[in-house]
A and B are shown apart, each in its own frame.
Chain A
Amino acid sequence: MKRVLPQALLYKEWKSARWGLAGLTLVLVLSRLVRVQLELKWLIELAQAGNLTVAHHSYWFQTLLFSAGAVAPTLVTVAGLAFLLFYPDRQGATASFLNSMPFTKMQLFDVKWAVGAGVITGAYLIHGVLLSAFYFLNRPWMFSTPYRAIPIWSSLQLLVSLAAFSFFLFVHSAMGHSLAAAVVGPICSFVPAFMAFGLRDIIYLNFSLSYDNALIVGLSKAANILYWPYLVAPSYLADARGEVMYPEFDQLGVRLLVLGIIMLVSFFLGRALYRRNSVEKVGELLMFSQLEPVLIYGFAICFGLLFNQIFGLGYGSGAAMINTFFLGGFMGGFFLARKVVYYYRQ
């Protein structure tokens, strides 16, 4: 154990990550526990006034718990946690210091991941305990919501956070500048879906296809699959009497499996990249010059798509407009990205 996760590194990373534990716990408490508390307070007031129809609020707890709104703040906090863990490694002198010490690069990466994953799990555990306590202390007010809603939501959100964290560490491993990586990481996670949506619109307009064309349908499906927040979006079902719709995570096993795969693939890719990190590249935008074309062209394509989504769609006549704005955005993005890469290289 000591060989895989040296105690000195655990000590160092814990000192960096403990703020992440405090931050993530706070985000979870504010985005969920406080919300259900406020809702319960309102329901009690309704009941005291004699205006509460239990049947209409039978799934209030589950509805609030499963609703959107927790993903974005947890994602930002997890991105911050990855930044805190990588920041010292991306400071020239400190990077030299760490690499002169008796640790391997693999140990440095593994401990970062282990401590980060531990902190995230810890935050969800603390929140889960508080939420469970709230549930059992107010059991009569939970109406139809079963207790399993808490472990289901917690495990799904935990895996989303762990997958995002692993992905952010992977991005940090590829980049030599921690602040840039902290910004690029979350953006990158939406790029595949964004590209699929953008490509669909360009093809649709250029070839005058209909929305039920197989290619367009396929691209839409691909974009929906790649848009990962759908993984934590619930389906809404009618209750037994058909009076109230309540949220449920269908295909929970598949969702958890997909998130687990994303987490593991990101972890192993990040680890492989980190092992090849050179201290002399610290401070540059990218750790690997082979990735420069990927970043420059990727940014240019996204910039082009962003331009045509903002200015090209819905203004004037179809393809000419969208293509012009795409090309303009592409060229602007290309020169901007190249400038930034060269700036950080110096």
Chain B
Amino acid sequence: MKIEVMSLYKTFRADTVLADINLAIEPGQIFGLIGENGAGKTTLIKCITGVYQPDQGAVYIGGKTAYENPTVKVEIGYVAEENQYFPSYRICELLSFYSLAYPRFSIDRFYELNQIFGVADKARVKELSKGMQMRLALMLSLSIQPAVLVLDEPTSGLDPLVKREAMNLILQEVESRAVTVLISSHHLSDLERICDTIGIIASGRIKAVHSLVELKQKMRKLQLVFSQDAPADLTAWPEVLAVEKVGRIHHIITKQYSEKLLNKLRQMRPLVLEEIPLELEDMFIYAAKEVQP
């Protein structure tokens, strides 16, 4: 199912939390949402899952609005960043509740997933640690066999092994059932592993949307060493996002990497010109700096 967000605005009293958000996430796409704390990620997610009503604009899931629409909500698996289940419920009671609420909920799938996650089904929700509660949320959301999976910080509290398993499961869901995934996380290495598109949100606005391949293509980190100072003010170049200078060593972060740019740099006769790895986390930090209001 396609997720479409059109000119979305959300205000809490006098604060505009989301402004003019436009997004389109195609079926089978894994969309990573990144942004600093308070940027509006969770509010956007709650608008998409139909928890919040947009003040202006609209959210469509498979062409229908999600707010107050059970036929759409039944297709959405939502994992929130904090525990949201009834604390006094035992896991088996939560399973009964889910099986009555979601027609496609599969108890077999839940226990199959529990082979990996290992949550005691006799325990009460309040007895589980934060990590265990997150495992439970992931299992329940996957067991309803959703068409859309919305995950808000799903890896927080998970140990590295389980985190890897969880990421693999999401990839399997996309591969086997073309599930549309929206995932927000501060663990950018996780997003880098599974996402095909990244959106950067800052101050309640989507500042950039890139396919990860495209982003990696455009955004590179180059290391240059000059015998003296750099002969030109590199920050003024339109292809350059940022320049860091330590002595005679310059690190250039590009926003439009090309062979033409490399030739321009070579003409400045650096002693060294080499590309060094740039991870998504670094890309985010530089991109966030660029989109600072």
Contacts and interface: CB of A to CB of B under 8 A. Distances in A.
Interface of A: 6-8, 11-12, 15, 88, 93-94, 96-97, 99-105, 107, 278-280
A7 B68 CA distance: 18
Given A8-B97, A102-B101, A93 B84 contact: yes
Nearest to A10: B100
B237 interface: no
B82 interface: yes
Given A96-B46, A97-B80, A104 B51 contact: no
B257 to A, nearest CB: 41
Given A11-B96, A11-B97, A94-B86, A101 B12 contact: no
Interface of B: 12, 46, 49-53, 68, 70-71, 73-74, 76, 78, 80, 82-86, 89, 93, 96-98, 100-102
B83 A93 contact: yes
B68 A102 contact: no
- Most chain A CB within 10 A, of B51, B74, B78, is at B51
Given A104-B68, A280-B52, 4 more contacts: A11-B97, A99-B50, A102-B71, A280-B12
B76 A100 contact: yes
Contacts of A88: 86
B85 A94 contact: yes
Given A6-B100, A94-B86, A96-B51, A102 B70 contact: yes
B70 A103 contact: yes
Contacts of B97: 8, 11-12
Contact of B102 (A12, A97, A102): A102
A100 B85 contact: no
A94 B68 CA distance: 17
Contacts of A97: 78, 80, 84-85
Nearest to A101: B101
A6 B76 CA distance: 18
10 nearest CB pairs, A to B:
A97-B84, A8-B101, A8-B100, A102-B70, A93-B84, A102-B74, A102-B73, A7-B100, A100-B78, A100-B49
A25 to B, nearest CB: 22
Given A93-B83, A94-B85, A279-B51, A100 B101 contact: no
A296 B98 CA distance: 41
A297 B50 CA distance: 35
A105 B68 contact: yes
A15 B49 CA distance: 26
Contacts of B98: 8
A321 B144 CA distance: 68
Nearest to A276: B53
B96 to A, nearest CB: 6
Nearest to B17: A280
Given A100-B73, A102-B102, A94 B50 contact: no
B224 to A, nearest CB: 49
Contacts of A11: 96-97, 100
B261 to A, nearest CB: 46
Contacts of B12: 280
Contacts of A12: 86, 97
Contacts of B53: 278
A94 B84 contact: yes
24 contacts: A6-B100, A8-B100, A8-B101, A11-B96, A11-B100, A93-B84, A94-B85, A97-B78, A97-B84, A97-B85, A99-B50, A99-B51, A100-B80, A102-B70, A102-B73, A102-B102, A104-B68, A104-B70, A105-B68, A107-B70, A279-B46, A279-B51, A279-B52, A280-B52
